[in-house]
Amino acid sequence: SKRSITVIPGDGIGPSIIDAALQILDHAGCDFHYDYADAGLMALEKHGELLPQATLDLIAKNKITLKGPLTTPVGGGFTSINVSLRKLFNLYANVRPVVSFEGTKSRFENIDIITIRENTEGMYSGAGQKRSDDNASAEAMSIITREGAERIVVFAYELARNEGRKKVTIVHKANILKSTSGLFLDVAREVAKRYPDIETNEMIVDAACMNLVMYPERFDVIVTTNLFGDILSDLCAGLVGGLGMAPGANIGKDVAIFEAVHGSAPDIAGQNIANPCSVILASIQMLEHLGMQDKARQIREAVRKTIAEGKTVTRDLGGTASTTEFTQAIIANL
Ligand code: NAI
Ligand code: MG
């Protein structure tokens, strides 16, 4: 029987780029069954809640989800749906690869960096949020646990080993954030000792920003805490042609959710001009996670070829093609 995948089309540009990715999976002969589920603004309008129970049930049932970006309404006390999903399913590892494609408008070639972002703790723990009544002060709690730090760093080294990568860079701010970043760095150093076959580097986050922009080719795998990972992964997207080229996987023990790094892009929604590569590359991560390496390679090659030809690409890549035309060109190259 066919493998079932939960599909959340999402908000804004989500439905159009998710549709592009599914068409490509189908044309590549992946033979999945798709269970569609609502989340985000669309779910709020249809069902009165951002994250309906039926959606959570489908995510849990199929274990694998391909998800479009979700709009979290500003105000009204809504917590981010993405943060909720990551916490509910304990999706502790956020894996964000960026790879250069010839033909994008990026300043660099040969970039191949994976940022492994801790996805449940740190500044995004959500704990202790408060603001004084007179708005004179605000506070929030950053939480790092030994267990949380250890599992993400182990994840990064295991990934490096499995993918034949050479170097892990631990990014931190232990000189200033002595308790939280300090514990993260201590644990990371302990874990690093267990992987003598992998080169380990340490870098303070501000220096990492400068080095990523000046010498991105020096980076291989980056492992870091939640907030730093969020920011550095967008920086990395900028090294390879922008958010339209940046996928991400949220991985837990049982459940995994594959998505674009970017949001619902309300400024270009409904215009059929979004770059679908972010979710197409996320679906490639999904295939690799499922052990379907041949299909993953086949689709990646079609994307590579289409961008290198440069005739039929979206605006963010310097072309004039619509989302639909770009998708058709990739399918023709499959
Ligand atoms: P955004 O990531 O949606 O857009 C930033 C800029 O990048 C915009 O100019 C947009 O047009 C462009 N862009 C993004 N994806 C693109 C693509 N595939 N092709 C071409 N251009 C692309 O960030 P923004 O505007 O700050 O957030 C909009 C909404 O998305 C918010 O409601 C936010 O909460 C949500 N969001 C959701 C995320 C998720 O579901 N994982 C992640 C980040 C934001
Ligand atoms: Mg982000």
Residue located nearest, by CA, to atom 12 of ligand 1: 265
- Consecutive H or E run containing 282: helix 277-289
CA of 234 to the centre of ligand 2 (A): 7
Give the position of tokens 């068409």: 23
**What does the pLDDT read at residue 75?**
74
Phi/psi at 7 (nearest 5 deg)? Answer: -120, 120
- DSSP per-residue string spanning 83-143: HHHHHHTT--EEEEEEE--TTSS-S-SS-EEEEEEE-SSBTTS-TT-EE-TTSS-EE---B
Homologous superfamily, domain 107-239: Isopropylmalate Dehydrogenase (3.40.718.10)
Predicted-assembly ipTM surpassing the 0.95 threshold: yes
Tell me if residue 36 is catalytic.
Answer: no
Q: What is the mean pLDDT of residues 66-87?
A: 86
Which atom number of ligand 1 is nearest to the Cα of residue 69? Answer: 40
Tell me if residue 206 is catalytic.
Answer: yes
CA of 280 to the centre of ligand 2 (A): 18
pLDDT confidence band for 125 (50 / 70 / 90): confident
Delimit the domains of the chain by residue range.
1-99+244-334, 107-239
**What does the pLDDT read at residue 316?**
94
Check pocket membership of 262 for ligand 1, CB cut-off 6 A: yes
Q: What would the two tokens of residue 130 be?
A: 């408060």
CA of 31 to the centre of ligand 2 (A): 31
Q: What would the two tokens of residue 73 be?
A: 């309404």
Pairing of β 64-67 and β 256-260: parallel
pLDDT confidence band for 80 (50 / 70 / 90): confident
Tell me if residue 124 is catalytic.
Answer: yes
Q: What is the mean pLDDT of residues 125-149?
A: 94
Q: Can 1-99+244-334 and 107-239 be said to share one CATH topology?
A: yes
Which of 19, 38, 220, 230 is catalytic? The answer is 230
Pairing of β 167-172 and β 247-251: unpaired
**What does the pLDDT read at residue 79?**
77
CATH of 1-99+244-334, one of 3.90.700.10, 3.10.20.740, 3.40.50.170, 3.40.718.10: 3.40.718.10
Check pocket membership of 331 for ligand 1, CB cut-off 6 A: no
Nearest residue to 293 via CA among 28, 1, 22: 28
Tell me if residue 63 is catalytic.
Answer: no
Q: Which residue has the higher pLDDT, 334 or 1?
A: 334
Which atom number of ligand 1 is nearest to the Cα of residue 70? Answer: 40
Nearest residue to 280 via CA among 299, 294, 261, 298: 299
Q: Is the per-residue pLDDT at 76 higher than 90?
A: no
Q: What is the mean pLDDT of residues 223-249?
A: 96
Which atom number of ligand 1 is nearest to the Cα of residue 40? Answer: 40
Check pocket membership of 281 for ligand 1, CB cut-off 6 A: no
Name the percent of the chain in helix, strand, coil, to the closest 5. 45, 20, 40
Q: Quick one: CA dihedral 223, 228, 230, 231, positive or negative?
A: negative
Residue-wise pLDDT tens digits, 173-210 = 999 999 999 999 999 999 999 999 999 999 999 999 99
Average per-residue pLDDT in the chain? 96
Q: What is the mean pLDDT of residues 147-170?
A: 97
Which of 67, 87, 173, 295 is catalytic? The answer is 173
Phi/psi at 100 (nearest 5 deg)? Answer: -70, 135
Check pocket membership of 237 for ligand 1, CB cut-off 6 A: no
pTM summary value: 0.95
The ligand placed nearest to the CA atom of residue 230 is: 2
Q: Residue 297's CB: how many other CB atoms inside 10 A? A: 13
Check pocket membership of 82 for ligand 1, CB cut-off 6 A: yes
Q: Which residue has the higher pLDDT, 79 or 119?
A: 119
Q: What is the mean pLDDT of residues 220-249?
A: 96
CA of 263 to the centre of ligand 1 (A): 3
**What does the pLDDT read at residue 95?**
98
CA of 171 to the centre of ligand 1 (A): 25
pLDDT confidence band for 126 (50 / 70 / 90): confident
